[in-house]
C-alpha cells in the first residue's frame, strides 16, 4: 500500500473542509446515495483500540479508523499470498510483510500477535504511521501533512491507484473526494475535480472520472463500426480492482465505463468513439432476437459500448443506487448515440457470448432497468404484451383473435400481434399510457413491415376524456422496426390511448407492436 496517496488525500480533504467557498461540488452521479453517513462516524467493533492506539502513537484515531475501513471494512482478515513476492495481509489494518514486522517491533508486540490480535494489529499500524510521520518530519497538527504518510502506507505503485486509495480514505473520513493533485495544493480549487494530469482526455459522460486505459483501438470506419448497442457486464470483482486492472496494459481488456457498487462513482476508461475490449464474441443475430443479421461475424467490440458493474453475475440482487447510476449513464449514452432503448440494443454480455459468459447474471433486472433508462430519457413505451410494460404507466389491450408472432425481427419487447383487415371490423389494439398531469407529448408507433401489411393502417389518438384527437394513417409495408412519429398532442391527465384499428380493405394485415410517448 502506498502511503503517499493516502496522505495526499487527507491533505486535500482538509483543504476542502476549510475552504471558505462553501461545499465542494457534488462529484459524480446525481441522485446517488452520497449523503450516507461517513464510515468514521459509525460505530466499529474496534473504536476503543483506534482511540487508544491513536493516542499512544500520536496518530489521529479517525485516520486509523478510516484506513481500517478502506482496507478491510473493519474485519480481521487472514490474508493469502496474492502473488509471489507480495506478502499476505493481516488484521483490521491489512498489515503485511516487512511493514507488519516493523510496526509490530515498534509497538512492542510479536508479529504473530500483530497478525491475530486486533489491538496488537491496530497498535502496530499506528506505530508504523508514527514512524512514517517522523521520517517525513510532518507537522501532525496539520491534517494535510498526513497525505504522504497515508500514501506510503498504501504501498500502491500506480499514481492513479494511489489516488483512488486516497479518495477511499477521504470518503471514509466523510470528505468529498477531490481528484488527486500531484503536489499538495490545498487551495479551494483543489475541491474541483480537474482532469487528472496526463489523462489526455475528458470523459464523454461528464460526471464520470476519466481514467484512461491503453487497451483500445479504432472502430472500423465503415458501417460496422457505428455504435448502436450497449453491453451490460459485471466485473466479477470490486470497483477499484475492476478499473485498476482494466487500465493496466497487461490485462489486454478494457471497457468504456465502470460503475461502482453504490453508484457513487463511474469511471470512464475509453472514449465511446473508440473500440474498447470487453467482449470476445463475434456477433450472432440469433442470440439477439435476429436483430441486424447483416452484422453476423463482425467482432462485437466494433459497434458496442460496454458498461461494467462492480459485483458478480452470481449475486442475488443489485444495489438500487448502482442501478440508478447505471441507468442514468445508459440514458446519456443512448441519447448521445441515437441508440434505441430496447432489449436488442441494451443487452447482456452473457447473451451475446453464452459459451463462456453469464454476466450480468440471472438477477439483473432487465425490464425495470430498461424502463428506468427510458424514464430518465423522458419516454414511456407501451408494448403489446404486459410483461414489457410498467403497469403504473403503460397497458395494452389486444383482442385474443390477433395472432402473436415474432417472425419478422426488430419488434419491441418479445414479439408483436397481427390481424387481417376487414371492412366492418370494430376491434382495435389499444395502447394506453398514464399521465399524472396534463402535458404535451409526442407519440410514435412501431410495427414490423412486410409486403402483406396494410398501406393504410389507422391509429386513433384518444384522450383520457374520450375525445378523439386525431386519426393517423401509416404505411406498414415499410419502415418496420423503427419508431415512426404519429404527431404531438396536448393530453389531459389520466389514461390516454392510441388504438390501432383493424378496419380496412380486406387482403392485408395490421401489426400492433408498440407505442412510444416522448416529452
Partner 1 sequence: MPRVAIVCALAPLIINACGGHEPRETGRQSAAAARVSAPQDTSFAGTTAPVQRAARPGTPPRVLRSVAATSGPGYDRVVFEFAEDSVPGYHVEYTTKPVRRCGSGDPVSVAGAGSLVVRLEPAQAHDARGNPTLAERERALGLPAVREMKLVCDFEGQVEWVLGVVAAGPYRVLASPGPGRLVVDIRHRP
Indicate the pairing of strand 514-518 with strand 439-446: antiparallel
Binder of partner 1 out of 179, 240, 267, 344 (CB under 8 A): 240
Residue (240 or 264) nearer to partner 1, CB? 240
Name residue, grid cell 491475530: 116
Determine the Cα–Cα distance for residues 429 and 335; give it in Å rounded to an integer: 29
Our finding on whether 237 is near partner 1 (CB under 8 A) is yes
Q: Enter the C-alpha cell of residue 268.
A: 470512464
Per-residue x/- marks for partner 1, 282-321, CB under 8 A?
x----------------xxx------x---x-x-------
Per-residue x/- marks for partner 1, 243-262, CB under 8 A?
xxxxxx-xxxxx--------
Determine the Cα–Cα distance for residues 55 and 60; give it in Å rounded to an integer: 8
Residue (176 or 310) nearer to partner 1, CB? 310
Our finding on whether 68 is near partner 1 (CB under 8 A) is no
254 contacts 215 by C-beta, under 8 angstroms: yes
Our finding on whether 56 is near partner 1 (CB under 8 A) is no
Binder of partner 1 out of 68, 91, 161, 186 (CB under 8 A): 161
- Interface with partner 1 in residues 209-228 (CB under 8 A): 215, 217
Our finding on whether 28 is near partner 1 (CB under 8 A) is no
Residue (51 or 253) nearer to partner 1, CB? 253
Per-residue x/- marks for partner 1, 118-157, CB under 8 A?
--------------------------------------xx
Determine the Cα–Cα distance for residues 67 and 55; give it in Å rounded to an integer: 16
Nearest CA to 89 out of 115, 110, 50 is that of 115
Our finding on whether 281 is near partner 1 (CB under 8 A) is yes
Residue 108, Ramachandran bin (φ over 0: left; ψ between -120 and 50: alpha; else beta): left
Helix segments in 224-279, DSSP class H: 239-246
Binding span for partner 1 by CB under 8 A among 170-178, 320-328, 351-359, 471-479: 351-359
Q: Residue 279 Cβ, how far from partner 1 at the closest point, in Å?
A: 7
Residue 444: strand pairing partners: 485, 516
Q: What number of chain residues touch partner 1 (CB under 8 A)? A: 47
How many other C-beta atoms lie within 10 A of the C-beta of residue 76? 16
Determine the Cα–Cα distance for residues 40 and 207; give it in Å rounded to an integer: 26
Q: Residue 228 Cβ, how far from partner 1 at the closest point, in Å?
A: 18
Q: Enter the C-alpha cell of residue 375.
A: 424514464
Q: Enter the C-alpha cell of residue 201.
A: 482526455
- Mapped onto helix, strand or coil, the DSSP state of residue 100 is helix
Q: Residue 350 Cβ, how far from partner 1 at the closest point, in Å?
A: 10
Q: Enter the C-alpha cell of residue 46.
A: 474496534
- The residues binding partner 1 (CB under 8 A) are 80-84, 86, 156-158, 161, 215, 217, 233-238, 240-241, 243-248, 250-254, 277-282, 299-301, 308, 312, 314, 349, 356-357, 359
Amino acid at each position: 500500500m502506498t502511503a503517499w496517496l493516502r496522505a495526499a488525500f487527507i491533505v486535500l480533504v482538509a483543504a476542502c473542509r476549510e475552504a471558505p467557498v462553501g461545499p465542494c461540488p457534488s462529484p459524480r452521479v446525481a441522485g446517488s446515495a452520497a449523503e450516507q453517513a461517513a464510515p468514521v462516524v459509525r460505530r466499529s467493533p474496534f473504536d476503543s483500540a483506534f482511540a487508544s492506539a491513536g493516542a499512544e502513537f500520536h496518530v489521529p484515531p479517525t485516520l486509523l479508523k478510516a484506513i481500517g475501513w478502506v482496507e478491510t471494512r473493519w474485519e480481521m482478515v487472514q490474508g493469502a499470498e496474492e502473488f509471489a513476492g507480495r506478502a499476505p495481509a493481516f488484521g483490521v489494518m491489512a498489515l503485511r510483510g516487512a511493514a507488519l514486522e516493523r510496526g509490530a517491533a515498534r509497538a512492542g508486540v510479536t508479529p504473530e500477535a500483530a497478525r491475530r490480535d486486533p489491538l496488537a494489529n491496530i497498535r502496530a499500524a499506528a506505530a508504523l504511521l508514527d514512524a512514517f510521520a517522523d521520517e517525513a518530519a510532518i507537522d501532525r497538527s496539520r491534517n494535510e501533512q498526513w497525505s504522504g504518510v497515508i500514501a506510503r502506507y498504501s504501498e500502491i505503485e500506480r499514481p492513479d491507484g494511489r489516488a483512488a486509495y486516497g479518495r477511499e480514505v477521504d470518503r471514509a473520513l466523510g470528505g468529498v473526494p477531490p481528484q488527486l493533485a500531484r503536489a499538495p495544493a490545498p487551495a479551494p480549487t483543489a475541491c474541483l475535480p480537474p482532469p487528472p494530469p496526463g489523462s489526455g482526455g475528458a470523459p464523454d459522460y461528464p460526471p464520470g472520472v476519466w481514467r484512461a486505459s491503453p487497451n483500445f483501438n479504432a472502430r472500423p470506419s465503415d458501417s460496422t463500426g457505428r455504435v448502436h448497442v450497449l453491453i451490460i457486464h459485471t466485473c466479477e470483482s470490486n470497483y477499484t480492482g475492476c478499473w485498476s486492472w482494466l487500465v493496466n496494459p497487461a490485462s489486454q481488456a478494457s471497457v468504456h465505463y465502470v460503475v461502482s457498487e453504490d453508484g457513487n462513482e463511474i469511471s470512464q476508461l475509453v472514449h465511446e468513439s473508440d473500440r474498447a475490449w470487453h467482449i470476445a464474441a463475434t456477433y450472432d443475430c440469433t442470440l439477439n432476437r435476429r436483430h441486424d443479421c447483416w452484422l453476423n461475424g463482425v467482432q462485437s467490440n466494433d459497434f458496442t459500448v460496454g458498461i461494467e458493474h462492480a459485483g458478480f453475475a452470481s449475486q442475488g440482487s443489485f444495489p438500487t443506487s448502482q442501478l440508478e447510476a447505471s441507468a442514468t449513464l445508459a440514458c446519456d449514452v443512448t441519447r448521445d448515440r441515437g441508440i434505441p432503448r430496447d432489449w436488442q440494443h441494451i443487452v447482456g454480455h452473457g447473451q451475446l457470448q453464452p459459451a463462456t459468459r453469464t454476466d450480468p447474471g440471472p438477477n439483473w433486472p432487465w425490464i425495470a432497468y430498461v424502463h428506468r433508462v427510458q424514464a430518465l430519457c423522458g419516454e414511456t413505451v407501451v408494448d403489446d404484451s404486459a410483461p414489457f410494460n410498467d403497469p403504473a404507466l403503460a397497458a395494452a389491450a389486444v383482442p385474443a383473435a390477433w395472432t402473436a408472432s415474432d417472425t419478422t425481427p426488430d419488434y419491441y419487447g418479445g414479439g408483436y400481434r397481427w390481424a387481417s383487415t376487414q371492412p366492418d371490423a370494430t376491434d382495435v389494439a389499444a395502447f394506453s399510457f398514464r399521465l399524472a398531469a396534463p402535458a404535451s407529448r409526442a407519440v410514435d408507433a412501431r410495427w414490423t413491415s412486410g409486403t402483406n401489411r396494410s398501406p393504410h393502417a389507422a391509429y386513433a389518438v384518444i384522450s383520457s376524456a374520450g375525445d378523439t384527437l386525431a386519426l393517423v394513417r401509416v404505411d406498414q409495408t415499410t419502415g418496420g422496426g423503427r419508431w415512426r412519429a404519429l404527431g404531438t398532442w396536448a393530453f389531459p391527465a389520466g389514461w390516454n390511448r392510441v388504438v390501432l384499428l383493424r378496419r380496412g380493405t380486406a387482403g392485408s394485415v395490421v401489426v400492433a407492436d408498440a407505442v412510444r410517448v416522448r416529452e
